[in-house]
């Protein structure tokens, strides 16, 4: 199991949190999704043999948000 913290820009309310949560949760191999609106973070526990970090990022972007890379 792999844990990844993604910095996400564009989440402004609980509805955004819900949207991101649902978009990621429905992907293969996702164990757990936590979203922090204050920290602008999406913490994902997932099986790296089923899903890659880039796939999760792409899914969040597709849902209408921006991934901050550092």
Residue 38 makes contact with Cu ion by CB under 5 A: no
State yes or no: residue 63 binds Cu ion (CB under 5 A).
no
**Three-state SS for 34?**
strand
Q: Which stretch binds Cu ion (CB under 5 A): 15-23, 34-42, 45-53, 59-67?
A: 15-23
Residue among 20, 12, 16, 19 nearest 56 (CA): 20
Choosing from 1, 13, 38, 54, the residue that interacts with Cu ion (CB under 5 A) is 13
Nearest to residue 23, comparing CAs of 50, 69, 61, 68?
61
Which residues are near Cu ion by CB under 5 A?
Answer: 12-13, 15-16
């Amino acid at each position: 199991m792999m844990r990844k913290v993604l910095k996400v820009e564009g989440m402004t309310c609980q509805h955004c949190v819900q949207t991101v949560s649902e978009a990621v949760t429905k992907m293969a191999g996702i164990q757990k999704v936590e979203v922090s609106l204050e920290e602008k973070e999406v913490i994902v526990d997932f099986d790296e043999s089923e899903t890659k970090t880039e796939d999760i990022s792409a899914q969040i972007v597709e849902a209408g948000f921006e991934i901050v890379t550092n």
